[in-house]
Amino acid sequence: MQWETVIGLEVHVQLATRSKIFSGASTAFGAEPNTQACAVDLGLPGVLPVLNEQAVAMAVQFGLAVHAEIPEVSVFDRKNYFYPDLPKGYQTSQMYHPIVGAGDVEITLDDNTTKRIRIHHAHLEEDAGKSLHEDFHGMTGIDLNRAGTPLLEIVSEPDMRSAKEAAAYLKAIHSIVTYLGISDGNMAEGSMRCDVNVSVRPKGQEAFGTRAEIKNVNSFRFVERAIAFEVERQIELIEDGGKVVQETRLFDPERDETRSMRTKEEANDYRYFPCPDLLPVVLDQAYLDHLRSQLPELPADKRARFQNELGLSAYDANVLSASREMAEFFEEVHRVCGDAKQAANWVQGELSGALNRENLSIQNSPVSAQQLGELIRRVLDDTINGKAAKQVFQALWNGQGESADAVIEAKGLKQVTDTGAIEAMIDQVIAESPAQVAQYRDSEPEKRGKMIGYFVGQVMKASRGTANPQQVNGLLKEKLDALL
Ligand code: ADP
Ligand code: MG
C-alpha cells in the first residue's frame, strides 16, 4: 500500500513588542523568574486589560504580507482551563473572529521549485507562564514572566505533503516575520514554536486520515524528525489493523520519538466566550493602507527580483533572500562592486565559509559589506588576482587593514601585468628547473598542458602570488615550446 502524508502547522510567533499584550509589564527575555508579571498578567481581581496597539499592528502586517483578508472586526475570547502556569484560569485568545483571515505563503523546496501553502487564519493571544521541572526535586517551579507575552498563532491549511515541505513552510514563516521585524524569530528562546498536525491516507484517497497533533516543536530539524517518526508510527499502526486516535503527542528529541500526552480536547471543553473586559477591535481602511505602505520588500519578492533583475540563479536567489540580514548584506556588496554574480559568489563562498567556521552570524561579520564590495571591485578591475583577493579577505577578516586598497598597498599585492617583469621571472624559473624542462620536452604533446602547472606554480610563487595568472600561462607556454 502506498501512503500519503498530510500535514498542517499551527505556528506560534512571539511578537517583538516591548510590553505585554494586555499590560505594561516588560517582555524582555532572561529576567529573574517572576519579576516581570504584573497584576494584569496574573488576572488579580479588579484589574482590566488594555490591548497593546503594537501587537495589533504587527498581526496586521503579517496578514498583509501573506495576502490575507483582514476583517474589519476581530474579537478576543476567553479559553478557560486550569493549569498551574495560568493563574487567571483562562487564556485570552481569538476563537471565532481572528484578526487575520485566509491568506497564503510561497515555500521553496530543495529542488528550487515553489508551492503555495494556504493559511487558514492567524489570531492574537497571550502566552502562559512556564513550568520549571529541573532544579526542583519532586516539585515544579512556576515562572510567570512569560504570562501575557503577545503571540500570533498562524494556522495553516493541511496543504503540506512531506516533512521537507513542513520545514520549508516553517522557514518561510520565519523569513516573513523576521523581514517584517515583528519577531526576533529566535527558536532556541521559544520565540517561534509550532504544533505539528500529521495524518496519513492511502494514496489516491480524498478523505483525510485521523491526525495526531505534536505539541511545541521548537526547531526546523525537530519538525522533520517528529514528522518522520509520526508518519512511520501511524502507517505501522494502520497496517497492523489498528486505528490512529486523535490525540496530542509530545516529541522527545533525545529518544527521537513522539509519545501520547492526552486525547484531544474539543473546543466546547474550553467554554469559549467573548472576553467582557475587552472591546472588539475595529480596523478601518485608512489604518490598513497606512500599514501596507510601511511593508518592506518581502522574501518572495526579493527572491524574484534577485533572479529576474540581477540574473542570479534560483539557488543563489533563494539562499541570499532567506534572511533579511543576509539579503541586505548582499545588496550592499552588490551596490559597491556593481557585479551581482561576483557579490553572490563571495557572500556565499568565502564570507559564509568564514562565518560558519567561527560560528558568527552575518550581522557580526568582521568584514563589512563595504569592505567586501571594494575588494571585489579590485578583482574586477584587475588590480589583484583571485589568489591575492583571498589574502586580502583574510587580512580584512583579521582586522589587518581598514580597506582592500590599504591591504593591497601594505602587502604589495598589486597584480603584476607588466610582460617584461613576468618574462624575467619565467626565464629565471626555467633556468633553475633543468630536470622539469627536460621532462616537459620528452613528454607527449597532449601531456604537456598538464605539466605546465608546475612552472606556473613556481612563477606565481616567485611573484608572491601577484603575477597575472593568464599572462603567466600564455607566456610560459610560448617560452617552453620555444625550447622544444
Ligand atoms: P483544532 O481547532 O482542533 O486545533 P483545526 O481544524 O483548527 O483543529 O486544525 C488545526 C490544524 O490541523 C490546522 O493547521 C490544520 O491544517 C491541521 N489539520 C486538520 N486536519 C488535519 C489532518 N487530517 N491531517 C493533518 N493536519 C490536519
Ligand atoms: Mg489546535
Q: Kindly tell me if the per-residue pLDDT of 157 is higher than 90.
A: yes
3-state secondary structure of 19: strand
Give the confidence band of 484 by pLDDT, cuts at 50, 70, 90. Answer: confident
Nearest Cα residue to atom 19 of ligand 1 = 158
Check pocket membership of 156 for ligand 1, CB cut-off 6 A: yes
Its sign, for the CA torsion 365, 367, 369, 370, is positive
Does the beta carbon of 456 lie inside 6 Å of ligand 1? no
How remote is the CA of residue 348 from the centroid of ligand 1, in Å? 38
The pLDDT tens digits of the residues spanning 370-401 come to 999 999 999 999 999 998 999 999 999 999 99
CA distance 223 to 193: 10
Q: Candidates 197, 201, 211, 270: which one to mutate for ligand 1, based on the most atoms within 8 Å of Cβ?
A: 197
The atom number, within ligand 1, closest to the CA of 208 reads: 23
117 CA from centroid of ligand 1 (Å): 14
| Ligand 1: nearest atom to the Cα of 197 | 26
Closest ligand to Cα 95: 1
pLDDT of residue 241: 95
Q: Is the CB of 208 under 6 A from ligand 1?
A: yes
Coil, helix or strand for 401?
A: coil
Residues 181-198 have pLDDT tens digits of 999 999 988 899 999 999
pLDDT band at 305 (very low <50, low <70, confident <90, very high): very high
pLDDT score of 356 more than 80:
yes
Identify the CA nearest to 209 among candidates 185, 231, 180: 231
Name the band, by pLDDT with cuts 50, 70 and 90, for residue 444: confident
Does position 265 have pLDDT exceeding 80, yes or no? no
pLDDT band at 483 (very low <50, low <70, confident <90, very high): confident
Distance 197 CA to ligand 1 centre (A): 6
- Assign 133 a pLDDT band (cuts: 50, 70, 90): confident
**Strands 77-80 vs 273-274: parallel, antiparallel or unpaired:** antiparallel
Q: Return the ligand number nearest the Cα of 265.
A: 1
Nearest to residue 233, comparing CAs of 261, 252, 259, 202? 259
Helical (H) or strand (E) element with 65: helix 53-65
pLDDT(267) > 80:
no
Q: Is the CB of 52 under 6 A from ligand 1?
A: no
Closest ligand (CA of 266): 1
Residue with the nearest Cα to atom 2 of ligand 1?
Answer: 267
pLDDT at 14 > cutoff 90 = yes
Q: Give residue 143's pLDDT.
A: 95
Amino acid identity, residue 231? V
Cα(40) to centroid(ligand 2), Å: 26
Q: Looking at ligand 1, which atom is closest to the CA of residue 210?
A: 23
Coil/strand/helix, residue 200: strand
